[in-house]
Structure 1
Amino acid sequence: MSNVVSERPAREGGTPVRETKLTVFASAISEEAIHEVEAVLRSGWLATGPRVAAFETQFARYVGVEHAVAVTSGTQALELALAGLGVGEGDEVITTPLTFVATAHAILNRGATPVLVDIDARNWTLDPALLEAAITARTRCVLPVHFAGRPSEMGPLIGIANRHGLPLLSDCAHAIETGYEGRNVGGYGVANAYSFHPCKSVTTGEGGMVATNDAALAERVRRRRFHGLVPAVPGSGWLRDVTGPGCKANMSDLQAALGLHQLRTVEERHARRCVLAERYREALQNSEAVELPAPVPSSQRHGWHLFNVLLVPERLRIDRRVLIEAMAAEHVEVAIHYRPLHCLTYLQDRLGVHEESCPVATQVARRILSLPLHDAMSEADVASVVTALGRVIGYYGC
């Protein structure tokens, strides 16, 4: 990407690069998927039923585990998995600050305390070198996040967790297709929690999944997701007992019908996003105002939920907020993922953390920018983003 001053950006009165707005995220829902959802509406069975069961089976097969339990959101998946692992009042759960606040809320909702361990500067996930020092007598779980689709360092993390007798539960909200050392990250650890929000590569509108090889854990999650109900008499559909706590978090067949179709095309769509990501890397590799993240090793697989770059403040005469406004004027939406947990007011007050508690995450978060990357995009869309970014940087650069 050229760093020379280009034509006047739209924010300064120029003509926008794009005629229509390109969003950071967009769901690509095919006509076939719509017909499958319509078939559920016509079937008369809308709640949890055969399509949920099929979705659970096929999702478990895709990520490489024996059991999957479909729920209403990724947040519920995390919270129910933590509950199934026995995490509760007074416990500590070690996690990363570079994640959506749902990760922290799931821990707090169990009465436990999130303990934030800084990220590795290269791959932006929980730093294994800092993990052991954070473990205390109150630690009950290690919860890494595969940020943006980049796999966490599962080998070292699991090794440390195992030495201390701790379960490892991954937040896989960004990582349906992500791989580590030749297999899907879903096969690592005691359990994994997924999100099917509309911005994810497999969507059910809203939804989530707990994936595990532990049959007993899967059964605890399954019972808890629907008020703790179990048959009072074996084989009885309506005579039920309640043997433990529960909530209302079961997925509907309407949601699962969409998820089933999305899952069938997940590899094809991931391959397209890989191409788009490579086009970004090719176009931006020589920019002086934009730094690309390190590529993942060949033994790992990037899920490409997000395409992030780091801005180089010394090469810009504007701050990130103005750059975002300037890109919006070109009809290109860009975003920030995320303001890290230790910089959020509520968690600072609740946990006693501050911006320097996790300095690497703080520095990354101050510079990070997410460019559009989703299944509805074309290579021409990527080119328009690069053109818009080049125009903005060229005009406001130094």
Structure 2
Amino acid sequence: MKIPFSVPLIDADVIAEMQDTLTNTRWLTSGPKVRALETEIQKFTGGEFALCVNSWTSGAMLILRWFGVGNGDEVIIPAYTYSATALCVMNMGATPVMVDVKEDFTIDTEKMRAAITPKTKVIIPVDLAGYPSDYDAIKEVVNDPAIKSLFVPDSDKQKLLGRILIFSDAAHSLGATYKGVSSGLISDVTVFSFHSVKNITTGEGGGIVLNLPQAFDNEKELAFLRILSLNGQNKSAFEKNQIGGWKYDIIDQGLKVNMPDLCAVVGLAQMRKYKDELLPDRNNIFHYYVKAFSNYEWAIIPPFKNDGTESSYHLFLLRIKGFTEEQRNKMIECISERGVGVNVQYIPMPMLTLFKSKGYKMADYPITYDLYKNEITLPVYNGLTEEQLHFVVDAVIESYKTVSEKKE
């Protein structure tokens, strides 16, 4: 038996939606299917203001551009995340300030507080594997009068907010809740990912949900972001294509990051059954692993539910107690030889060439390294059968035994 690490859900509903686009609407770039997907995101999250873009990274850059983040600014992020969290900051000319995480993989808010300077404009907590960060603690920090007094606004949006922006990297957490609040409504701005390996996919894509405080008109900000996502053009190609709709204006220096309908159709078909079918299925797969590995002292179960906070069950981050990085790597080789695809989420950024060259040092993030060195990500995706899950579990257990015996 061969079990890949991730397989996107392409079923009859997705194919029918694609067929409708190709034969009926006959529109490929941003149009009615994107708007329909945005509506489904609004319905699912409870957020009224959603915008689809062509990747999480471009959505993040769009938000930073909208907020006026640029040269000389700092954005605080956890060291344990995929590199896009840092690259979106660097692409806008700002500096990512990395801080260590806690044992639950989420940003350490005390270290975050210590990293804030007058240059800090944004904090990007990461809901790694779909488990939300401690947003109450983050909000307490940014609203602390002493922290707010450090904030130096350089743009109209920054002046209106009057504090550091909380922008959730929710690439993994569509469907998660924080103390009963849906991901999308927890922070000022949320950006989801619809990459091919995510819970909902458009192949490549992302979704922005605005939840700005009362000082902002979220509807107007969304309309402006839509324009910014189209090179600052005040009409989409679909609108210009209507009879008599040719005239347009460029009102700001935007980016070209809109999602095409051709991608949106895949996510649209999936979103319509995410709440009732796809998310519960992922929950069941995750809990199969929880039950199976809870019997073993060496298996460290990842966080998934606590006091009204619940994961989106995007990834199962199994950790192997007492293993070194080298032993973990050998265990992955053994699992792979048994026909199971696994992964590591993620190689910490300070270990990667780009970030090492910019002076980031792994020694500054000890918890991040401790979590990474013995972590193995197991397959979680719709369509996995109980027989396949049993096969995965057996492969992991037997591989642990193989490596442990060599250790002894």
Q: Is TM more than 0.5 here? A: yes
* Aligned position for 2:44: 62
User: 1 CA distance for matches of 2:399 and 2:353?
Assistant: 32
* Aligned position for 1:191: 189
| Selected match of 1:97 from 52, 59, 79 | 79
The answer to whether structure 1 residue 223 and structure 2 residue 223 are counterparts is no
The answer to whether structure 1 residue 71 and structure 2 residue 28 are counterparts is no
Unaligned runs of 5+ in 1: 1-18
User: 2 CA distance for matches of 1:392 and 1:178?
Assistant: 32
The residue matched to 1:93 in structure 2 has which SS? strand
* Aligned position for 1:3: none
The answer to whether structure 1 residue 264 and structure 2 residue 272 are counterparts is yes
The residue matched to 1:194 in structure 2 has which SS? strand
* Aligned position for 1:333: 341
Deviations 1:82-102 (A, max 9, x none): 111111111100111111111
Deviations 1:351-388 (A, max 9, x none): x2111111111111111110111112122221111111
User: 2 CA distance for matches of 1:382 and 1:263?
Assistant: 24
Q: Which has the higher contact order (CA 8 A, sep 6+)?
A: 1
Whether contact under 8 Å (2:347, 2:372) holds in the other structure is: yes
User: 1 CA distance for matches of 2:115 and 2:403?
Assistant: 43
Tell me which amino acid in the other structure corresponds to 1:32: D
Deviation, 1:289, is: 3.0
Tell me which amino acid in the other structure corresponds to 1:219: A
- Correspondence 1:162-201 to 2 at 5 A: 162-163=143-144, 164=148, 165-201=163-199
Between 1:218-227 and 1:360-369, the stretch displaced more is 218-227
* Aligned position for 1:84: 66
User: 2 CA distance for matches of 1:33 and 1:344?
Assistant: 37
Deviation, 1:215, is: 2.8
* Aligned position for 2:371: 364
* Aligned position for 2:300: 291
User: 1 CA distance for matches of 2:47 and 2:68?
Assistant: 21
Deviation, 1:317, is: 12
Pick closer, same or farther for the CA change 1:249–1:188 going to 2, 3 Å: same
Pick closer, same or farther for the CA change 1:295–1:48 going to 2, 3 Å: closer
Between 1:159-168 and 1:275-284, the stretch displaced more is 159-168
| Selected match of 1:36 from 8, 17, 20 | 17
Q: TM-score by structure 1 length?
A: 0.90
* Aligned position for 2:257: 249
Deviation, 1:25, is: 1.2
Tell me which amino acid in the other structure corresponds to 1:247: L
Whether contact under 8 Å (2:40, 2:272) holds in the other structure is: no
User: 1 CA distance for matches of 2:357 and 2:331?
Assistant: 30
Whether contact under 8 Å (2:330, 2:403) holds in the other structure is: no
Deviation, 1:247, is: 2.2
Deviation, 1:318, is: 6.7
Whether contact under 8 Å (1:81, 1:193) holds in the other structure is: no
User: 1 CA distance for matches of 2:285 and 2:380?
Assistant: 7
Q: TM-score by structure 2 length?
A: 0.88
The answer to whether structure 1 residue 304 and structure 2 residue 313 are counterparts is yes
Tell me which amino acid in the other structure corresponds to 2:126: V
User: 2 CA distance for matches of 1:136 and 1:199?
Assistant: 36
User: 2 CA distance for matches of 1:27 and 1:332?
Assistant: 17
Tell me which amino acid in the other structure corresponds to 2:311: H
- Correspondence 1:123-142 to 2 at 5 A: 123-142=104-123
Deviations 1:194-230 (A, max 9, x none): 1111101111111111110333432332111111012
The residue matched to 2:133 in structure 1 has which SS? coil
Deviation, 1:237, is: 2.6
User: 1 CA distance for matches of 2:111 and 2:326?
Assistant: 35
Deviation, 1:395, is: 2.7
* Aligned position for 1:16: none
Whether contact under 8 Å (1:75, 1:102) holds in the other structure is: yes
Deviation, 1:68, is: 0.8
Whether contact under 8 Å (1:27, 1:376) holds in the other structure is: no
User: 2 CA distance for matches of 1:225 and 1:317?
Assistant: 41
Pick closer, same or farther for the CA change 1:318–1:244 going to 2, 3 Å: closer
User: 1 CA distance for matches of 2:130 and 2:51?
Assistant: 22
User: 1 CA distance for matches of 2:65 and 2:364?
Assistant: 28
Tell me which amino acid in the other structure corresponds to 1:354: K
Tell me which amino acid in the other structure corresponds to 2:394: T
* Aligned position for 1:9: none
Tell me which amino acid in the other structure corresponds to 2:390: A
User: 2 CA distance for matches of 1:396 and 1:143?
Assistant: 37
User: 1 CA distance for matches of 2:284 and 2:362?
Assistant: 36
Tell me which amino acid in the other structure corresponds to 1:160: V
User: 1 CA distance for matches of 2:225 and 2:388?
Assistant: 42
Unaligned runs of 5+ in 2: 149-162, 212-217
User: 2 CA distance for matches of 1:354 and 1:208?
Assistant: 30
The answer to whether structure 1 residue 346 and structure 2 residue 350 are counterparts is no
* Aligned position for 2:31: 49
Deviation, 1:269, is: 1.2
Whether contact under 8 Å (1:289, 1:312) holds in the other structure is: yes
The answer to whether structure 1 residue 384 and structure 2 residue 391 are counterparts is yes
The residue matched to 1:168 in structure 2 has which SS? strand
* Aligned position for 1:211: 209
The answer to whether structure 1 residue 237 and structure 2 residue 245 are counterparts is yes
Deviations 1:240-284 (A, max 9, x none): 111211222111112222211110111221111111111111111
Deviation, 1:34, is: 0.5
Between 1:151-160 and 1:287-296, the stretch displaced more is 287-296
Deviation, 1:396, is: 2.7
The residue matched to 1:141 in structure 2 has which SS? strand
User: 2 CA distance for matches of 1:131 and 1:211?
Assistant: 24
Aligned residues: 376
User: 1 CA distance for matches of 2:54 and 2:334?
Assistant: 37
| Selected match of 1:373 from 380, 385, 407 | 380
* Aligned position for 1:13: none
The residue matched to 1:171 in structure 2 has which SS? strand
User: 2 CA distance for matches of 1:113 and 1:119?
Assistant: 19
